[in-house]
Amino acid sequence: SAVISQKPSRDICQRGTSLTIQCQVDSQVTMMFWYRQQPGQSLTLIATANQGSEATYESGFVIDKFPISRPNLTFSTLTVSNMSPEDSSIYLCSVGGYSSYEQYFGPGTRLTVT
Amino acid sequence: KQEVTQIPAALSVPEGENLVLNCSFTDSAIYNLQWFRQDPGKGLTSLLLIQSSQREQTSGRLNASLDKSSGRSTLYIAASQPGDSATYLCAVDTNTGFQKLVFGTGTRLLVSP
């Protein structure tokens, strides 16, 4: 397994601003993922962030809105740009690439946009 | 497009009961299925993973089964405890080779003392 931390744990932001969420893992991993969980909904994959390559975005998510960095094998950031109230969600990072095929999740960042 | 549904959406039981949570998926071409629990204000905890070639997995009081051809999985919890109260999510790996998970809608479980 892996121990994953996220910063910040929660934030309240103004419409039109941007927030960068950090994800730190206690060991090197090949695959990192970013998910969004809107209020009352299940998790939706935003993008896959593998070190050394550009992030791969899922349908409905674009790089201009959710730029992602993956500078090394233990760290990634997700930026939520030009925020609107519809971006109010929990954002979670996860790691994979293990021989067991399991994925492990961070505690999430609860974002409220006013 | 893969869709994952969980029934019931919510469940309330007294402590000690055995219970079954259901998960169904529309596309049987999956690589594996994973069950998670989500506690309020916390992330997801991995409970069990069943490979597509397996029928079931067990961990302690938890037993998960998989019927890939019918697109169904169940999570059986024996002798439920108040500490089992959480939201339970199933997720399927969509067999793309990139470990992309499609999550179900979740079952919110409350176990009363």
For B63-89, the pLDDT digits (tens) are: 999 999 999 999 999 999 999 999 999
In a mutagenesis test of the A interface, which of B5, B98, B108 is the best target, namely the one with the most A β-carbons within 10 Å? Answer: B98
Q: Residue A86 phi/psi, 5° resolution?
A: -65, -15
Q: Which residues contact A54 (CB under 8 A, 6 or more apart)?
A: none
Say what percent of chain B tops pLDDT 70. Answer: 97
pLDDT on residue A114: 96
Helix (H, G, I), strand (E, B) or coil at B24: strand
Q: Chain B within 8 Å of A42 (Cβ-Cβ)?
A: yes
In a mutagenesis test of the A interface, which of B100, B102, B105, B107 is the best target, namely the one with the most A β-carbons within 10 Å? Answer: B100
Contact B51 A101 (CB under 8 A): yes
Contacts of B97 in chain A (CB under 8 A): none
Q: pLDDT of A25-73, one tens digit each?
A: 999 998 899 999 999 888 999 999 987 778 999 999 999 999 999 999 9
Helix (H, G, I), strand (E, B) or coil at A20: strand
CB-CB contact of A80 with A87 (8 Å): yes
Mean pLDDT of B38-51: 89
pLDDT on residue A2: 85
- Identity of residue A49: A
CB-CB contact of B55 with B64 (8 Å): no
